[in-house]
Structure 1
Amino acid sequence: MLTFEEKEAIIQEFKELTRKEVSLKRVNYHYEESLYEKTTVVYHLHPNGNGFVYVGDLAQYEEANDKGMLNIREATADELRQTIKDSIAYLATEEEEVALEEVEEEWKNKENSKLTLLQEDEMWNIYHGYNLEESFGSYSEAKAYLLEEGFRKVASK
């Protein structure tokens, strides 16, 4: 485990971070250029070596708590550097609104019955005429259902 001093030396390699002392000899490091209200990158680094790095909801940090904080008590030097880099990048990147391209597909079975698969917001809905038949959370679930029921996608014109 890295000592407090070793962790501080690594954190201070990041010139874009500002050191702020807090209670009980703990220190925080802030990224003042953050695009969000959240500026804390390193939170409550304590002389005993405990502390946290803000990683938000980055997928590679599954062990982060519900506030997006990752405990760095047992972090190696390389892990600490990478986590801080990821945190700064996270705070420096604007969230993109993903524009969902609407999908509408026609499916038919052997009896020539027709169903329509339509993406609406984040759901995949299957309609028989104007009646909602089923609703799914992903395209793959909806497709699997249609195939199980003997339907095949009609080629686009």
Structure 2
Amino acid sequence: MQANLVNKNTNEVKNVKVGFSWTEFFFGFWPAVFRGDWKWLLIMLLVDVGLGVFTWGGGSLLFNFIFAFFYNKFYVKDLIEKGFEPSDEGDYHTLVAQGYIQPNMRFGTAYNNSQNTANVTTDASLEELDKLKKLLDDGTITQEEFDAKKKQLLGL
């Protein structure tokens, strides 16, 4: 499986693999070299050398097998921290289904900005509704005014 991540600030698009990393399993730290993933390259290289020296390469092989289950997830999380986000709804759901991101994770200018966002409720609109409800309860505004403003805030 794969997904596309886009950085809206730099317009850079990365096609990332999701799931077991066969390239990391077979080639060890080399996929990190080609991805420019210097943090994980250094970690894998140190562990491979450290384990390989004392176990005649067996520890390095075992580490690469185990780490192949996690490497793609680490790489995607690092990209998201750098400002990348799913390019569309399908990529978002792929990453959620594999546990790479949380289902309620919000992105600044994510794919959903291109969709109809009329029914999306933000924290600010919920706070505004709270204030309006208090005004209604105090008798400062009428039920009709409250309903009209509520529809406007919720985009109904």
TM-score, shorter chain, exceeding 0.5:
no
Considering fraction of residues, name the structure with more strand. Answer: 1
Considering fraction of residues, name the structure with more helix. Answer: 2
TM-score normalised by the chain length of structure 2: 0.28
Greater C-alpha radius of gyration = 1
Q: Which has the higher contact order (CA 8 A, sep 6+)?
A: 2
